Amino acid sequence: MSSATHPTRRPTVPAAEEILGGYFPVLDHGFVALVDYMGTDDSVERAARVSYGYGTRKVSRTRGLVRYLRRHLHTTPSEMVEFKFHCAMPMFVARQWIRHRTASVNEYSGRYSLMPLLFYSPGADQFSLQSATSNQGRAPGSVSPEFYREAMRRWDDVRARAADDYGWLVGENVARELARIDLPLSTYTQWYWKIDLHNLLHFLTLRVDDHAQWEIQEYGRVMAGMVKRVAPLSYEAWVDYQVMGDRLSGAEIAALSRLVEADAKGVAALGGAGLSNAELAGLGLSGREIREFKAKLRPREVPDYELDLAAMRDPEDVAAEMLEAVPAVDQ
């Protein structure tokens, strides 16, 4: 029976329906597609008001409740909304991604299927030296064009040999689970990833952060744009409280309390002059904590996670590209 004759009774959002099943490119060969979702901002409200019943609500009331729940970290109502994604990413990104153990995952099997020989190559603007201050980050700035070209030449040599060896092994009918073992971490894998809204927003809070590896930030930004279309009120509250906001330690609150005084009616007002590093240290903050505290107080730009609909691809085109990258062997 057609859906036109029997329309769905599940809650839907026109903005989400517009992108459902569309594939958004990430990096050079990756993608994210929202293949299904269950629930909307209204679902969060219904779950929160389960003890009181549910009637017709004004959007302003729903917005106020959603923001209250996120502000005070009442997270279980947002677990009632779920997202299912189809994603393709380099293996080294997948290994970071899978650390978030709050999702259901089914990954492409290199034991069962032939691997598409697609490899990630960072652009020159993302190719940097090791950071001198962070063991897991990149130094600001890029290297010389000559250095970048030499690095790419070496990577291309390794990948061409790995692809050739893989094609030869599977062509000789070596077990696929063995033939794949020397493919590099730049090889693309893919999976279906299903997660609820609360845990998705926790994932995104960490992965769109400037301290996260740039490649996984790119995936986070696209997925955040999808959340914006499914649950715009929850998205707005997340950006306000988690992305633009920050946590304060007891010592940091003590420092701010010296700068902001409350009058007899509890109205906040600016107090005296700023605190020196020595005064901040006297409150128990280490040198690194002082630097981080000052960074928290700097103005921030509101991020733009709007999706580029012109970039959305049909699933058939994406599937054909993946199939074309599979080595041609006699089955």
Answer yes or no: is pLDDT of 136 > 50. yes
CB atoms within 10 A of CB 69: 21
pLDDT (tens digit, 9 = 90+) per residue, 153-171? 999 999 999 999 999 999 9
Question: Residues near 289 by Cβ (< 8 Å), separated by ≥ 6?
Answer: 249, 251, 252
Instruction: Tell me the domain boundaries of the chain.
Output: 14-245+300-324, 250-296
* pLDDT of the residue at 216: 98
Q: Which fold has domain 14-245+300-324?
A: Gyrase A; domain 2 (3.30.1360)
Q: How far apart are CA 66 and CA 238, in angstroms?
A: 10
Q: Which of 75-79, 104-108, 247-251, 272-276 has the lowest mean pLDDT?
A: 272-276
Answer yes or no: is pLDDT of 42 > 60. yes
- Tell me the percentage of the chain whose pLDDT exceeds 90: 70
207, 229, 288, 300: the active-site residue: 207
Answer yes or no: is pLDDT of 1 > 50. no
Q: How far apart are CA 112 and CA 44, in angstroms?
A: 40
pLDDT (tens digit, 9 = 90+) per residue, 264-282? 554 445 555 678 888 888 8
pLDDT (tens digit, 9 = 90+) per residue, 66-99? 999 999 999 999 999 999 999 999 999 999 999 9
Query: Is residue 214 a contact partner of residue 223, using CB atoms and an 8 Å limit?
Result: no
Q: Which of 88-102, 128-142, 180-194, 241-255 has the lowest mean pLDDT?
A: 128-142
- Tell me the percentage of the chain whose pLDDT exceeds 70: 91
Answer yes or no: is pLDDT of 262 > 80. no
The DSSP secondary-structure symbol of 241 reads: I
Q: What is the DSSP secondary-structure string of 253-292?
A: HHHHHHHEEE-TT--EEE-SSPPPHHHHHHTT--HHHHHH
207 is catalytic: yes
* pLDDT of the residue at 272: 57
Average pLDDT, rounded, for the chain: 90
More confident residue, 133 or 88: 88
Q: Residues 129-146: what's their mean pLDDT?
A: 87
* pLDDT of the residue at 2: 45
What's the pLDDT band for 55 if we cut at 50, 70, 90? Answer: low
